[in-house]
C-alpha cells in the first residue's frame, strides 16, 4: 500500500534515508571507477530519489523510492522516459542496502488487481493510466 507515494494525510510514512543513498552512490562510483554527477531528492510530485553516475561515457541513474527500500537502475531521459537496466555489478553492490527491482518486473504491464493499492492510489491510477509496474512505483503524479 502507498507504493505510488500518495497517501492519506492521516498516514505518516517514513522517508528513506537520502544521506545513506548518496553514500551508497559514491561507493558505487568509486568501485566502478565512475563519478556521481547528480543527486536529486524527491520533490513534489516526484516520488523518488535519483542519483546519476557516469562510468566511462555512460550515465546510469539509480532510483530509490521515497518511502520504500526499492531501487531501480535505469537510463533516464526524463520523468516519463525511464529505461530500466539490470547491470549485475550495480545490482550486487545495491542488494545489501535495498531491494533491487528487476527490469522484467518494472516493464511488466500494470494490473491494479494484482497490487494492494489504497483508494487514493486507485483513483490516481485511473487518471494517469500507467502502462507498467515501473510507471506506478517510480512516478511523477500530482
pTM > 0.75: yes or no: yes
* Chain mean position to CA 62: 7
Task: Convert the pLDDT of each residue in 84-141 to its tens digit.
Answer: 999 999 999 999 999 999 999 999 998 877 777 777 777 777 777 788 999 888 987 7
Give the CA radius of gyration of the chain: 15
Exposure letters 61-82 (e unless 16+ CB within 10 A, then b): bbbbbbbbebbbbbebeeeeeb
Tell me: pLDDT of 6 over 70.
no
Is-contact 30 67, C-beta < 8 A?
Answer: no
Q: What is the rounded end-to-end Cα distance, in angstroms, of the chain? A: 17
Amino acid at each position: 500500500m502507498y507504493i505510488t507515494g500518495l497517501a492519506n494525510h492521516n498516514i505518516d510514512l517514513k522517508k528513506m534515508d537520502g544521506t545513506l543513498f548518496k553514500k551508497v552512490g559514491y561507493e558505487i562510483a568509486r568501485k566502478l571507477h565512475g563519478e556521481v554527477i547528480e543527486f536529486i531528492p524527491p520533490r513534489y510530485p516526484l516520488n523518488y530519489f535519483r542519483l546519476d553516475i557516469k562510468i566511462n561515457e555512460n550515465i546510469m541513474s539509480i532510483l530509490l523510492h521515497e518511502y520504500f527500500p526499492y531501487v531501480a537502475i535505469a537510463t533516464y531521459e526524463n520523468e516519463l522516459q525511464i529505461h530500466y537496466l539490470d547491470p549485475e555489478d550495480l545490482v550486487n553492490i545495491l542488494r545489501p542496502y535495498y531491494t533491487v527491482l528487476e527490469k522484467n518486473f518494472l516493464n511488466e504491464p500494470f494490473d491494479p488487481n494484482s497490487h494492494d493499492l489504497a483508494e487514493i492510489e486507485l483513483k490516481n491510477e485511473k487518471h494517469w493510466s500507467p502502462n507498467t509496474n515501473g510507471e506506478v512505483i517510480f512516478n511523477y503524479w500530482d
